[in-house]
């Protein structure tokens, strides 16, 4: 029996755990995205409640807010979808490393490809979240401007 065989097992297990760091980062991104989505939904519900009793001028402003918040919700949804794709890729990377070791390191491209796809999915998710944050700030600025116009004092 090869005395170095246990070291190979530890090396394989260690490499399988490496994607865990990326899984943790993805989990953090998903928590953030889901919290932002909940806030957007709460804000939309608040606006919809005000919309029912609004006059014509206020209604137009509120409908504009609804449209901006719907865009925000879509961006957060895309961010979540991409983060889940990334998470699946990182889990697949970990499993592919084990499969690769089992088959004598003949499919080494598979774990690498899955890891790269996972990182790309996280990049897209992060870009969507960045766009959503920018839209949130612009929306807030717009609402502040409208409020200041109504109450100039």
Identify the band that residue 102 occupies on the pLDDT scale cut at 50, 70 and 90: confident
- The per-residue pLDDT for 86 is 96
Range of the domain at 86: 25-150
Assigned domain for 36 exists: yes
Query: What does the alpha-carbon distance between residue 19 and residue 92 come to, in Å, rounded to a whole number?
Result: 9
pLDDT tens-place string over residues 18-73? 788 889 989 999 999 999 999 999 999 999 999 888 888 888 888 999 999 999 99
111-136: average pLDDT: 95
Assigned domain for 15 exists: no
Assigned domain for 32 exists: yes
H-run or E-run covering 93: helix 56-102
- The per-residue pLDDT for 68 is 94
Domain count, the chain: 1
Percent of residues, the chain, with pLDDT higher than 90: 56
Assigned domain for 10 exists: no
Q: CA 56, 61, 66, 40 torsion: positive or negative? A: negative
Assigned domain for 54 exists: yes
Assigned domain for 11 exists: no
∠ CA 105-109-113 to the nearest 5 degrees? 140
Statement: residue 142 has pLDDT above 80: yes
Mean per-residue pLDDT of the chain: 88
80-108: average pLDDT: 90
Contact indicator for 32, 78 with CB cutoff of 8 Å: no
Statement: residue 1 has pLDDT above 60: no
Assigned domain for 90 exists: yes
- The per-residue pLDDT for 6 is 55
Assigned domain for 9 exists: no
71-80: average pLDDT: 96
For 126, counting Cβ atoms within 10 Å of its Cβ (0-12 exposed, 13-18 middle, 19+ buried), the class is middle
Least confident of 5-19, 86-100, 111-125: 5-19
């Amino acid at each position: 029996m090869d005395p170095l065989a246990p070291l190979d097992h530890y090396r394989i297990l260690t490499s399988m755990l490496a994607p865990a760091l990326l899984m943790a980062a993805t989990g953090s991104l998903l928590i953030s995205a889901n919290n932002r989505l909940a806030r957007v939904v709460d804000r939309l519900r608040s606006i919809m409640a005000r919309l029912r009793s609004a006059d014509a001028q206020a209604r137009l402003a509120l409908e504009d807010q609804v449209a901006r918040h719907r865009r925000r919700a879509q961006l957060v949804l895309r961010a979540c979808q991409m983060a889940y794709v990334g998470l699946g890729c990182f889990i697949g990377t970990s499993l592919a490393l084990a499969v690769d070791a089992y088959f004598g390191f003949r499919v080494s491209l598979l774990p690498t490809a899955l890891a790269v796809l996972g990182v790309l999915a996280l990049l897209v998710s992060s870009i969507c979240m960045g766009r959503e944050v920018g839209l949130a700030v612009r929306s807030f600025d717009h609402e502040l401007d409208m409020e200041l116009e109504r109450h100039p004092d």
